[in-house]
A = this chain, B = another copy of it.
């Protein structure tokens, strides 16, 4: 998930971890920002996989355990996406497996990079997500109907509010889907499928 988001951001321009985190928070909807404990390991994984590279020479690897803990100049590290990284990102964008629908955050990241996504894949993702949320809504609704008498006021309120939220999300997704259907080619931008290519 995080890797996907990082690749998407680095595709736009090279960045520091710090900056990356801020952009990430912005893209993710502002409410939940990513922690450094997630970000740096993710960057390390991406670097190890050759999907990003750094301008930092090699001050990273050596450092034996007995050295005083990193009291050498620790400069900024700018991360840049590689050609493999771009390939991988395009792959992730176009595949959009069903796991993208269950996790709201992964869906959010996908949505944030929709301008890199082909119109048919966009529709697939939106509908998949709607299906997931609809299932949640139905489960919640029947659970609420089943347990209406057994539960106290607070639990009931919590479930009512939750049901209202998912219900609104379904409607929101439906609006997005409708608008997508009305005007499929809206702003694909730089997707891997130019509109002239009819496969």
Q: Is A96 an interface residue (CB 8 A)?
A: no
Given A154-B114, A158-B112, the answer on whether A140 and B187 have CB atoms closer than 8 Å is no
Copies of this polypeptide in the complex: 2
Interface segment among A37-45, A69-77, A82-90, A163-171: the answer is A163-171
Asked if A155 and B31 make an inter-chain contact with CB atoms under 8 angstroms apart, the answer reads no
Does B115 contact A152, Cβ atoms closer than 8 Å?
yes
Contact for A155 among B111, B136, B152, B186, CB less than 8 A: B111
Point out the residues of chain B lying under 8 angstroms from A112, CB to CB. 154-155, 158
Of all chain B residues, which has the CB nearest A153? B187
Closest-CB distance, A15 to chain B (whole angstroms)? 15
Asked if residues A165 and B162 are in contact (CB atoms below 8 Å), the reply is: no
For the complex, is A94 an interface residue (Cβ under 8 Å from B)? no
Q: Which of A12-41 contact B (CB under 8 A)?
A: 26-27, 29-31
Could you show 24 A-B contacts with beta carbons less than 8 Å apart? A26-B147, A29-B158, A29-B159, A30-B136, A30-B140, A30-B143, A30-B144, A30-B159, A30-B163, A31-B136, A108-B158, A111-B154, A111-B155, A111-B157, A111-B158, A112-B154, A112-B158, A114-B152, A115-B152, A152-B189, A153-B187, A154-B176, A164-B168, A168-B168
Which chain A residues have a beta carbon within 8 Å of chain B's beta carbons? 26-27, 29-31, 108, 111-112, 114-115, 136, 139-140, 143-144, 147, 152-155, 157-159, 161-166, 168-169, 172, 176, 186-187, 189
